Each structure stands twice: as C-alpha cells, then as structure tokens.
Amino acid sequence: MLAIIGGTGMTQLANLEITHRQVIRTPYGEPSGPLTFGRIKHHNVVFLARHGYGHTIPPHEINYRANIWALSSQKVKRIVAVASVGGIAAALKPGALAVPDQLIDYTYGRKFTFFEGGEKPVTHIDFTEPYSDKLRQRILKAAHAAQVAVSDGGIYAATQGPRLETAAEINRLERDGATMVGMTGMPEAALARELGIEYAALAVVANHAAGREPQGSAIDMAAIHAVLTGAMEQVRNVLEYVVDHDAD
C-alpha cells in the first residue's frame, strides 16, 4: 500500500475518499495524529499529516520514528513525502515542484534510528541513494501524465528549524551543493530505509531561500501561504496519477 505524508500546506487530501481513521500506538510514542485510510481512484491509500492535522507540531518536535513505524505496521510499502522547501537554485522559484535525488542532513538532537538500545546489534544501512529511484521515476511519470512541470533531481538540505535560515547559512548550503532547503527531510528518509520502505519526496518550493529574494527583501510569510495554496492543487493532481499507477 502507498502512504502519503503531507507537510506544510497539506494537512488533508481533498481527493481522498476517507473510509476510516485509526489511532496507532507505537513503541516510540505517539505519531503526529491518527492515520487516515481511504481510496483515490479506487486504490487504497493511507495519509498522515506530518505536523498534525491542526499543523501544531514544529519540525524539530515531530516524532518521526512513531510516524514511520505506524505506517510500517499497516503494511505500507511506499511513502511519497510532500514537503515545502525554500529554493536555493535559481531555477527553483516559488510554486515550482521538484523530486530531489540527494540530501544533506544538518539536523541535530532528533531521534534518528530504530537501531539503538543495548539489546539490539549495531546495524548499518546503505544510504548512498537516500530516495528510491523507482518511486522517484513513478512521481516524475505521474507529473508528466498530469501535465505538471516538475524538476528532476536536486539536493535537499535538511535543517533543524523551526526558524528559517540566515542568508549566510544559505550561502553555506549552496557551497555544499544544496539546491533546496527544508526542515523535515531527515530523519524521515533514513527511518523509512531502515524499515525497508520505498521513500521519495515531492518538494514544493514555497519561497526563495534567505538572501535569494528579489532585491534582497525579507521572506514574506503571507506570500508563502498563498504560494502553497496554489501549488497544492498541482501536487494533488500528481498524486492522483501516482496512486493510479500503484499496486495495492
């Protein structure tokens, strides 16, 4: 089954025919909220709002382990993670969509692995390619079928939040090779890999990253909300095509 994790701007799926919601108890505490089960184009889908259904959980306080474990407990095999980002690369302007193929983790203090505790053996996972290429290609093909422009590839810089970055920090991220910046990409991707779940991200560019705004203006929070509201319609269109080509 396919799961969709919604980020800022997507606390619900308008095109999801909801069948039921389920509260999941996990060994790692409470997930961000109940899992919402339903169907899109006659395919079973489960949805989870990453920040909670009232968008009340900041990035650094999300219980990523509980979220991923809860989805895995429901036999989820693939996760499409929708996330808002700031555009660092010039081509990633507000409203653009991208499917990153690499990431750099700058977060700290988060519970980032299932493999800990004295009773568990030391376990390493291959994270050379942090996103499932098979699922990435499915998203790209879905975007093409939906006639939605999507950038293929990009390097996601995962920062701690909840504050936005300084212009100097963005310059540093760019020197490191990052093309977009967000706050929720890690440890979500790594946890999915640990549990053997295919994972890919559909990034929505909400704003120019700090220092990249035209004429050096400050980031406008109201403008971010307006951009996300408009872009989420395109995201839903892409997701419909992703789901329509998914095997339950």
183 is in an annotated binding site: yes
d(CA 226, CA 212): 19
Rounded CA-CA distance 62/174 in Å is: 26
Written as one letter, the residue type at 199 is Y
Strand ranges for the chain from DSSP E:
2-6, 17-22, 35-40, 43-49, 78-87, 97-99, 102-105, 151-152, 155-158, 180-182, 198-208
221 among annotated binding-site residues:
no
Six token digits for residue 225? 């909300």
The answer to the question of whether 163 is labelled as a binding residue is: no
Q: Any idea which residue has 């989420």 for tokens?
A: 232
Running DSSP on this structure, what letter comes out for residue 119?
T
Distance CA 163, CA 129 (A): 28
Ligand-binding site membership of 128 (annotated) = no
Report whether 225 belongs to an annotated binding site. no
DSSP class of 59: G
Backbone phi and psi for residue 161, each to the nearest 5 degrees, phi listed first: 70, -175
Confirm or deny that 50 is annotated as ligand binding: yes
> Per the annotation, does 237 bind a ligand?
no
Is 21 within any annotated ligand binding site? Answer: no
Binding-site residue ranges? 8, 50-51, 183-184, 207-209
Annotated binding site for phosphate: 8, 50-51, 184
Annotated binding site for substrate: 183, 207-209
